[in-house]
Structure 1
C-alpha cells in the first residue's frame, strides 16, 4: 500500500479518536493534542501525537483532500521516505509553534507534515527537471495563503511554515545525498 494512503488512514484514525474523546468530553484529548504549556512541563509526546489526533472535522477533511492531491500528483513516489518527511516536518512545525505561540495555545492536526510533503515534492521536481510542476506550486501556494489568511480558519500558521521549510530542506538534503551516490 502506498505511503500516502497509509498516512491518510492514520490521519483518519486520529480524527476518529479525537472525535470519540471530544464527544465523550474526555480529558484524555488534552494528553494527545499539543498544549504548549504542558509540552514545556514534560508532556513531550504531544509534539508527535498532535500530528495525528484532531477533533476538528474541517481539519480532517482538508487534510484528507490535501493528501488526495499529493497522491494524485506524485503517486507516493518517495516511497517509505514519505513517512520520514511527514513526521519530521510535522515535528519541526510543532516545535516552531511551541516556541512562537503563547503557552496556553492548543494545536492539533497533520497539516505541518502535509505541507512538508507538498514542499518536498515540489522542490524535488524542480531539482530533478529544473522546472516547477505548475499544478504543484499553484496548489501549495494557494492552499497556504487560503488556509492561513481566511478569518474563519483556525490554523497553526507556524506548523504550516515549519512544515514547508522542513520539506524544502529535506528535499535539498536528499537530492544532494542521491546526487553524491549517483542515483539522481
Structure 2
C-alpha cells in the first residue's frame, strides 16, 4: 500500500524530489514569515491588492504559505503522504505543473467568489487538487488503485470535504481545488499505460 511511508529520510529525498522541495519551501516560508511582518503581508492571498494593484503573485504565494504551526503540519503531512504516488505516476514535471495549476485555480476562484477584503494562505487548494486527481482515478481508472488504497482515498476525500465547512477555512479553495484535480485527471492520464499502480 503506497500511502504507508517506509522510506528513510535520505531515500525520500532521492525518490520524491518535488515533494521534498515543496516541503522545504513550506518550512522556509513559515520561518521567514514568522520573523518578518513585511514579508508576511506581501505573500498573503489578499483579494484587495490583487484587484486594485494587480499584485498577481498573490495568486501563487499562498500555495506555499502557512502562518500557524498546525496548519503547516497538517498540509505538509498531507503532501508527504499523498503526493509521492502521483509524483511517481506523473513524473516530476507533470506533477509540479498539475500541483501549481490546481493551486492557482483555487486561488483565482477565491478571488472571484470571496468578498473583496478576503485574505487567505495555505496549500489546501493544491492538496485538494491531488485528492481530485485521486477521485478521477477512483472513478475512471480504478485498475490503477488497489482495494486498500481505494478505501483510504474515499475516507480522506469524505473527511476532507466535511472538515471544509468550518470557520476559518477557505471553502472555495477546497471545493474548487478538488474539482480542478478531477477535471485535470483525464488530461494527466490520457496516455498513462499503467506501469505503476497505487
Calculate the TM-score normalised by the size of structure 1.
0.82
Q: Which residue of 1 aligns with 2:169?
A: 155
Pair 1:76–1:125, CA change in 2 (3 A): farther
Give the C-alpha shift of residue 22 in structure 1.
3.2
Query: Which structure 1 segments of 5+ residues have no match?
Result: none
Cα distance, 1:156 vs structure 2: 0.9
Contact 1:18 1:53 in 2 (8 A): yes
Question: Is structure 2 residue 159 aligned with structure 1 residue 142?
Answer: yes
What TM-score comes out, normalization by structure 2 length? 0.76
Cα-to-partner distance string for 1:43-92 (whole Å, 9 max, x where unaligned): 00110111112222122111112113214765732222221111111001
Match of 1:173 in 2: 187
Where has structure 1 moved over 6 Å in runs of 4 or more?
A: none
Q: Which runs of 5+ in 2 are unaligned?
A: 1-13
2:69 matched to 1:53? no
Instruction: Tell me how large the CA RMSD over aligned residues is.
Output: 2.5
